[in-house]
Structure 1
Amino acid sequence: MTAVEKKDLFSAADSRSADGTETEYGNTRETGQLRRCMSVWNCCTLGFSVVSPVVGLYAIFGVENLVTGGGWIAALILSLFMQLTVATVYAELSSQFPIAGGAYKWSIHLIGPKTGQYAGIIYVSSVIAMLTTTAYTGGIWLSAVVMGGDTQGASAVIWGGVFLLICTLVNIVNQRIYKIINLLGVSAEVLGSICVALILFFFFRINPVSELFQHLGTGLAPTSITAFLAALAIAGWAFIGFDSCSTIAEEAHNPERIIPRAIFLSLLAVGSVVLFNSSALMLSVSHAMLIESSATSDPISPIIASTIGVWAAKPFLIIVMTAFLSCGSSVVNYAARIVFSMAREGNLPTFFSHVTRKTQLPRNAIAGTVLMASLGLLFGLNDGAVATIIAFGTGGLYAMFSMTTGVGLYARLTGRWNPTLGALRLGKWGLAINIIAFVWALFELINIGWPRDYIAAPGASWWQLWAVPLVLGTLLILTTLHVQTGYKRAIKKVLDITAPGDIRKQVDKNTL
């Protein structure tokens, strides 16, 4: 492939006519194109923010300690290593097909429209569920900073709505505003959380490093084996979000090289910080106090207050709130690009594929995404319902990881995908890594979805324990009915509109 041909392969969003209205995507008012304005740093901070170290730490720290009793750092390390194999498959695909929508679009290109419909429904549903839970939890932290005290019920839902409104404004004004806010949020979070962890590790550490690998099986899980499997399932909550980098490929400069780098950098950065911060917290207090604080809704602040001092609690609270705002803004950005891509394909109303002429932002998709997440916030009126959304948000993303790595493996083995055409070439290692990634993603999906009463909230109903398979199964059934009853979208037409010529020629024989 010549340099010119290679450039054309990735230049769909750059192909504009003189008047700026007609492109390979058609009229920009209907099937708009996004502006290339994201650097590798911007893409990396997006992935970093979607599941930030502080948010990820709060998601897993208390639950891990209660369920396993301790010794779960080994599971966290294993989970991070295995997620790197999944990230490698995403990096390979994004280096060859850097298109808005990421994994959703790859399913269409490599297998076909039906596969794309399943991928799109699972992807957008799980990411919007993720946005709902981020808004619900972030609203509680926002309320704690502004008003003080604990917020529950209807008040938590209202504050969640305020949180979503702030995240929406950050995204719809201008992409430059989003980049600035996100950079400030990431900087404050990294500096704040790492500084606190360093202080704990060097000045308040009371336990030897061996403490990190002790007490496994002394928690709510009945045996050491079940505790380790549960620890793997919970650890999976902290290492999602790197795939968001692939969804903004059409907004990145030189995306075939930048997006793979951003995927690896974001996952490694989050993983490193979560590992270090978790270790610092566990080594700075006694095991008895660790378990006691883990039983509260805020398992980390009591540890900081008891070691560094009560004065540090308020600044740390502000850091946590900033992290959640950065995370929420990035998840809005992430989810809106999937909605935009699905609308451009015809799998959602084309209204969501419109972009603004001046800023080239998919504001309709952003508004639609936030509206769906806002409706989901109403489930926050019921603790059981919001717990179900939280469980599905993670399980749905691992279903997407399983599907994407499976699609990549099938396409690789059947000759539908030739990875040597991408900018990232792994040679014979690519197949081996793809197999490992698929097996791991499928295992983790089953592991996360497996009903365990010792992970769920006390007194949880049976449908809460089975939340992941129930919601995922319902989505699959509804999507199958949609496909089989003839309400298929005009994928061929959209491929002619959205895919660059070289990509279209390469995949038409496989997709239609």
Structure 2
Amino acid sequence: MSTTDKPLPASSNLTDDDELAGLGYKSQFKRDMSPWANFALGFTYLSPVVGIYVTFAIALSAGGPPMVWALVVAGVGQLLVALVFGEVVSQFPVTGGVYPWARRLWGRRWAWMTGWIYMIALFTTIAALTYGAAPYVCALLGIEHTTGNTVAFGLVLIALATVINFSGTRALSWFAKFGFAAELTGAVAVGLWLLFTARHHNLGVLFDSFGAGDGNTYVWAFLAAGLIGVYQYYGFEACGDVAEEVPDPGRRIPKTMRMTIYVGGGAAIFVAVALVLAVTDFGAVIRGEDVDPINTILQSAFGPVASKVVLGVVLISFVSGALSLQAAASRLLFSYARDGMIGGSKKLAQISEKHHVPVAALTTAAVVPAAILLASYISTDALAKIVSFATAGIYIGFQMVVFAALRARAKGWTPQGPFTLGRWGIVVNIAALVWGIGAIVNMAWPRTPDAAWYDNYIVLLSVIVVVAVGLIYMIITGRAEQSEGPYSDAIPSSPGATAVTDSNPGMRTPSSAHNIGS
């Protein structure tokens, strides 16, 4: 399959801000994020170290060593999604990611629900990530892992990410690159050390389930273990969330999205394989006797001192991941507010004159996850129910864009940005939709028959609640219909349609660029 990166016309002298004005918006951000920093942002959001370390024990106990292949399957599936996103962001390089893409591909109400679902998913993901950092902080400091410590460390992590994000795009870029360098170096160093000094098996174990599953078929065990891949490969969309902070975004962001999958996915697979080969007793993990195989491996391979160094690298990955997630959430909320799609839009769409960041949106992206974390003081079970929506919501947001792109193609949309898939576009689009729906079904599938029915169907129930609340809010407030931003302009107008009017924001000219927040 080949893709196309179209050269700029020799006569073209439009600036990035001119092109943004042509899409209906006035530039307010500073384009201080280099392609390298944009890639680092996506990489640290995807975070192979965090993704593998958090899900490794669950995946290995469910499916045994072959669970590694789920990372390959998910990587290919999410690359298809990234290619579709690349075509869309190339034509519509607007801050906010999936929300403005859905808006241009379909319309206001579809975009409203896409933005709502994805926004709630990002808030809960930030809470889940910061909550998950606590065991590593406790292990590093040698203190007891309690609910109080977990919440305290999570709040500190959110505060740290907020301070860095408040400092502006340049600071975000620097810390993203630092996080990328630390995480990749740590992943490679740890992986190589394990392969050369702590390897107990050869690659043949990657084809041996060691008794995982019900003994009849391995398919269900592999699907359960496959969640390690599903939970790993998202973050590439963050490259597009900051489109108005990147020079030449229509050409560069599709490339950084693909690089995030290639490099982040490769690092995740390498780490997972190294860890699998270093496990001494697969049976103990599968039977639930060794519930923390990573700590067992690190203590055995590195000893108490060096293992703390490794834990330090892991914590850097958590910090950079929280930073990238919060940046993505704030840009989405800003974009949502700039079009007047939510209460408090005027405030949420304001940009700091000093640092050129959306202050109110960033504050919201700190306060809401912090409130979710504080819920664990009431009930850790309540927190688990809240964050169960996180990854499923992100995938649903993705697939709403993928489906909108497929619908737009059926209505005549031909991608017009510098990056296109050409004749392969429709094939990739359909394949991405099939993959995404399958991944969502796998996440929502009930796998705890002994639990209460509402716990067994917690992912599905959480999706229903979020969608229902969003629909009620959208209908009662009428925000989507009152929105003033451009929409539906990916789909060609029918012959005889009005070309440009104020009542048809989707057809606005560069001179009508606007900023609701100003």
For 1:413, the aligned partner's letter is A
CA 431–14 in structure 1, closer or farther in 2 if over 3 Å, else same? closer
Match status 1:113 vs 2:104 = no
Aligned to 2:195: 201
By how many angstroms is 1:7 displaced? Answer: 6.7
| Structure 2 counterparts to residues 234-273 of structure 1, below 5 A | 234-273=228-267
> Residues 292 and 452 (structure 1 numbering): CA distance in 2 closer, same or farther, change over 3 Å?
closer
Aligned position for 1:352: 348
Taking structure 1 as reference, are residues 334 and 247 closer, same or farther at Cα in structure 2, changes over 3 Å only? same
Question: 1:300 is paired with a residue of what secondary structure?
Answer: helix
**Which position in structure 2 is the counterpart of 1:478?**
469
Whether the aligned pair in 1 keeps the contact of 2:41 and 2:238 (CA below 8 Å) is yes
SS of structure 1 residue aligned to 2:321: helix
The TM-score, its normalising length taken from structure 1, stands at 0.88
Q: Distance in 2 between matches of 1:472 and 1:330?
A: 24
Indicate the residue corresponding to 1:324 in structure 2.
318
Shift of 1:176: 2.0
Distance change (3 Å), C-alpha of 1:506 and 1:197? farther
Equivalent-residue separation in structure 2 for 1:363 and 1:509 (angstroms)? 27
Q: Give the Cα separation in 2 of the matches to 1:221 and 1:248.
A: 48
- Out of 94, 117, 120, the residue aligned to residue 122 of structure 1 is 117
- Please name the residue that 1:402 is paired with: 399
Cα 1:77/1:375, change in 2 over 3 Å: same
Deviations 1:351-386 (CA, angstroms, capped at 9, x unpaired): 111001122111211011111111111232323222
Give the drift of 1:396.
0.6
Tell whether the 8 Å contact from 1:205 to 1:284 is kept in structure 2 after alignment. Answer: yes
Matches within 5 A, 1:324-473: 324-348=318-342, 349-350=344-345, 351-381=347-377, 382-415=379-412, 417-419=413-415, 421-453=416-448, 461-473=452-464
* Alignment map for 1:156-167 (pairs within 5 Å): 156-167=150-161
User: How far apart are residue 148 of structure 1 and its match?
Assistant: 2.2
RMSD: 3.1
Instruction: Please say if 1:303 is aligned against 2:297.
Output: yes
What per-residue deviation string (whole Å, max 9, x for no partner) do you get for residues 151-195 of structure 1?
Answer: 222331122111111111111023222222222222111111211
Q: 1:494 aligns with which of 463, 485, 489?
A: 485
> What is the one-letter code of the residue matched to 1:233?
L
Q: Which amino acid aligns with 2:120?
A: S
Stretch moving more, 59-68 or 309-318: 309-318
Q: Secondary structure at the match of 1:35?
A: coil
Q: What aligned pairs does 1:193-232 form with structure 2 within 5 A after superposition?
A: 193-215=187-209, 218-219=212-213, 223-232=217-226
CA distance in 2, matches of 1:5, 1:460: 66
Tell me: CA distance 1:7–1:107, structure 2 relative to 1, closer, same or farther (3 Å).
farther
C-alpha distance 51-462 of structure 1, shift in aligned 2 (>3 A): farther
Which stretch shows the higher mean deviation, 188-197 or 152-161? 152-161
Structure 1's 208 and 92: CA in aligned 2 closer, same or farther, altered over 3 A? same
Query: What secondary structure, in the 3-state scheme, does the structure 1 residue paired with 2:485 have?
Result: helix
Take 1:175 and 1:133, find their aligned partners in 2: how far apart are those partners?
Answer: 25
Query: Structure 2 counterpart of 1:468, which letter?
Result: V
| Rounded Cα–Cα distance in structure 2 between residues aligned with 1:294 and 1:105 | 45
Is this contact kept in 1: 2:87–2:254, CA < 8 A?
yes
- AA partner of residue 484 (structure 2): K
CA contact (8 A) 2:191 2:275 kept: yes
Q: Hey, what's the Cα distance between the residues in 2 that align with 1:365 and 1:330?
A: 14
Q: Distance in 2 between matches of 1:475 and 1:354?
A: 27
1:389 partner amino acid: I
Q: Which residue of 1 aligns with 2:48?
A: 53
Q: Secondary structure at the match of 1:357?
A: coil
Give the CA deviation at 1:264: 0.6
1:43 to 33, 38, 41: 38
Measured in 2, the distance between the counterparts of 1:460 and 1:383 equals 16
Deviations 1:37-75 (A, max 9, x none): 111111111111112111011122101111113311222
- With over 3 angstroms needed to count, the CA separation of the structure-2 counterparts of 1:216 and 1:430, relative to structure 1, is farther
Q: Which amino acid aligns with 1:472?
A: V
Encode CA deviations 1:269-295: one digit per residue, 9 max, x unaligned: 111011111111111233337717976
TM-score by length of 2: 0.87
Aligned to 1:168: 162
What CA distance in whole angstroms lies between the structure 2 residues aligned with 1:281 and 1:506? 59
2:94/2:243 contact within 8 Å kept:
yes
